[in-house]
Amino acid sequence: MASERAKELAAKQKAERKAAKLRKKTSDNPRDWSWPRQIVEVFKRTKEYDPQLIVWMVGAFAAAVLAMVILGIVLDAWLIYSLLGLFLGVTAALWVLLWRAKGANYRRYHGEKGSAEVALSELDKKKWDSETAIAIDKSMNLVHRTVGPAGIVLIGEGDNARGKQLLATEQRRHEQVAYGTPVTAIMMGDGADEVPLEQLSKRIKKLPKKLQAHQLIEVKQRLKALDAVRPKVPIPRGPIPNMRGAHRAMRGR
């Protein structure tokens, strides 16, 4: 009887492992992918927006290999250094891929509503607590918020005049509950006095440190009270492909 139960348990565990493996193989979630598949997918998506990607990767690989081969010839150990060069070449090519992928990601979402989330996702989540689309108007102008060592940072995006007006309104609301906590307003865009998407995370990181960890907890609690009385406007998370789809999503909720 015990042996039969053991066999049934083993068969069940085997089936579960097989199902989990199949789920990961067919999953659309990058977290379920193996690292080779992740690299391949990053390469494909980056190449769509960066035609020079292959040139940069091959150049980095060749430069690393050539440098190690020359060093190996000088030190009379060309074989060892050639093998080391291959390893460093692959590492250099992958580093270039990640570097170019970051720029391609900005170009992919440039000009789309909600694209500020791409920049906010690059902030250290242990230091910065970000909320997207905390405010939105009928013209689909947005205000996002992140709270961290620099205090409260509000990011506006959308139409220049109306977007700045919405951002100014949110800045006044936050200053009323901030009680001395710095509230910085940044308008994202390509115009004068605006910060481009690709420079947004850098601008936020460069803001002077004003708060300690214990002060951040108190600030976040006050912001919860502010958000509690704010009317909730449903909006899809992340960059919005087009205005029509966003309006349809809002009407459907």
Q: What is the pTM of this model?
A: 0.68
Total of domains in the chain: 2
In a domain, 69, yes or no: yes
| 142 in the same domain as 79 | no
| 123 in the same domain as 240 | yes
In a domain, 187, yes or no: yes
In a domain, 5, yes or no: no
Tell me if 93 sits within 8 A of 60, measured CB to CB.
yes
Domain termination site, one of 60, 82, 109: 109
The side-by-side arrangement of strands in the sheet containing 142-148 is 129-136, 142-148, 151-157, 183-187
In a domain, 26, yes or no: no
In a domain, 76, yes or no: yes
Q: Sort residue 193 into left (φ over 0), alpha (ψ -120 to 50) or beta.
A: left
| 93 in the same domain as 180 | no
| 65 in the same domain as 155 | no
pLDDT tens, per residue, the chain with 253 residues: 557 776 677 777 777 777 767 666 666 555 666 778 788 888 888 888 888 999 999 999 999 999 999 999 988 888 898 999 999 999 999 999 999 988 888 888 887 888 898 899 889 988 999 999 899 888 889 999 999 999 999 999 987 788 899 999 999 999 988 888 899 999 998 888 889 998 999 999 999 998 887 788 888 888 888 888 776 655 545 554 443 333 333 333 3
Map tokens 């349809």 to a residue: 248
Domain containing 219: what range?
116-251
